[in-house]
Amino acid sequence: MYNVPADFINEAKIWEALEQNKNPEPAQIKEVLAKAAEMKGLNLNDVALLTAINDPEMMAELFNTANTVKETIYGKRLVLFAPLYVSNLCKNECLYCAFRASNKGIVRHALSQEEIAKEVEILINQGHKRVLLVAGESYPEQDGFQYVLDAIKTVYSVKNEHGEIRRVNINVAPLTVEEFKQAKDANIGTYQIFQETYHRETYKKVHVGGKKRDYNWRTWALHRAMEAGIDDVGIGVLLGLFDYRFELLATMQHIFELEDKFGVGPHTISVPRMEPATNSDMASHPPFPVSDIDFRKMVAILRLAVPYTGIIMSTRETAKMRRDTFALGVSQISAGSKTNPGGYGETSEDDPSSQFSLGDHRPLDEVIRDVASMGYIPSFCTACYRMGRTGQDFMDLAKPGDIRLHCAPNGLSSFKEYLQNYASPETREIGDELIRETIAGMSGIAKQRAEKLVNRVKAGRDDVYC
């Protein structure tokens, strides 16, 4: 079943929706924004229509609506994670990536399990609780996919006086159903994969060698993951490869397909914009560069189109762009990231062996301080996944807004844990004040839970959640 054309990506339908909605009247835009404010999501035509917004006044209305939806559902929380690059070995030829097989300009290395453990210790000592394990599409020969399974096990096994990693998400090449089952048994949180581009012709042009040339194998990957019982999946496209409006609508078609077949859509959407990468002309000159304003617009539209799906912003973007998009819908960010295997043990800012260059080099503590100064609560919470609130269960809880009864208190207690155990004095002061103000502004059960959990952390208990 999974090697037939992925007909749920219907290119003709996408172009038709974009053509039919290319010149909307302000009244039509307002109508779609009013529908979006009900937080029930949008259809393909609605999304196409919003992509046509150019007028600054309408753009401001779009951004305001996205901000309201974001704050209503997510409050001021921002979930934090760190990528963990375990290997840059790769057999594919993706023209935009420094890890592609023929690139002789980088040093190849797959971390040993001991080296992985060292990287994890560094992340734990910084205060991280969630990692996204990343690898190229080739594993050390003697191990095969078992290498990834061992790496996951290693991450979970590292525990020291500063804590432990509580959730491992993975971004690795598409797996078979059997391999997905093994990944589930290894206790992964989210399986994440980016289609790169849903446009078949462009896909063929930019993937010139290796297994990744098979568009359908990649497009069906999340079906296989769900069939294997993984119900937290993450999607995304690599922005810059093709017209972002097409990609946005194709992403919606992928989401509708997953909702239709499995009753639940993706847990997260990532919005990676292409960044320069060693020896990649394409990465320095993306064929369809996405401007800053289109990038913000896209984040806002996604927030309205799938209000309960997390939006992830990586350190590919600058601190300023990251700040701007918190208000538009971003709910998860990476911080203090390195994109080369072994990068956390090194001191240099941008290693040429990195997958791509970063826009935000600040260490975790500085990001936390900045985020908290803006009034956002950095959350290290991993409660839902550990309590089995994933997939449909998570959505059932999230949709009526009940998740705030869990997420707000858990976010605050995990933030308090960070402040107490890892933060610089300056960050601690700003953070403690924010926690006080936030709890003062809460009411009912959420407030009671937040006070109780934060007090437990103050009393020396770690890892408390509801």
For residue 273, the minimal CB distance to ligand SAM (Å) is 7
- Residue 89 contacts ligand SF4 per CB under 6 A: no
Amino acid at position 66, single letter: A
Which of 51, 92, 190, 195 is in the footprint of ligand SF4 by CB under 6 A? Answer: 92
For residue 93, the minimal CB distance to ligand SAM (Å) is 11
Bridge partners for 233 per DSSP? 191
Sequence-distant contacts of 105-109: CB under 8 A, at least 24 apart: 105/278, 105/279, 105/352, 106/278, 106/279, 106/352, 106/353, 107/353, 109/341, 109/342, 109/353
Do 41 and 31 meet the contact criterion of CB atoms below 8 Å apart? no
Select 17 or 151, whichever has its Cβ closest to ligand SAM. 151
Which of 18, 44, 120, 172 is in the footprint of ligand SAM by CB under 6 A? Answer: 172
Cα 353 from chain centroid? 23
Per-residue exposure over 266-297, b if at least 16 CB sit within 10 Å of its own CB, e if not: bbbbbbbbbbebbebebbeebbbebeeeebbb
100 binds, among ligand SF4, ligand SAM, none (CB under 5 to 8 A by kind): ligand SF4
Select 42 or 135, whichever has its Cβ closest to ligand SAM. 135
For residue 111, the minimal CB distance to ligand SAM (Å) is 14
For residue 96, the minimal CB distance to ligand SAM (Å) is 5
Per-residue contact track with ligand SF4, 113 to 142, x per CB under 6 A? -----------------------xx-----
Select 21 or 171, whichever has its Cβ closest to ligand SF4. 171
Per-residue exposure over 410-419, b if at least 16 CB sit within 10 Å of its own CB, e if not: bbbbbbbbbb
Which of 24, 41, 42, 137 is in the footprint of ligand SAM by CB under 6 A? Answer: 137
Find all residues with CB under 8 Å of 47, minimum gap 6, and list them.
Answer: 17, 248, 249, 252, 301, 305
For residue 237, the minimal CB distance to ligand SF4 (Å) is 13
Among the listed ranges 51-59, 89-97, 217-225, 325-333, the one in contact with ligand SF4 (CB under 6 A) is 89-97
- Residue 172 contacts ligand SF4 per CB under 6 A: no
- Residue 457 contacts ligand SF4 per CB under 6 A: no
Using CB under 6 A as the criterion, which residues of the chain lie in contact with ligand SF4 when the complex forms?
90, 92, 94, 97, 99-100, 136-137, 212
Using CB under 6 A as the criterion, which residues of the chain lie in contact with ligand SAM when the complex forms?
96-97, 99, 134, 136-137, 171-173, 193-194, 196, 238, 272, 274-275, 277, 283, 316, 355-356
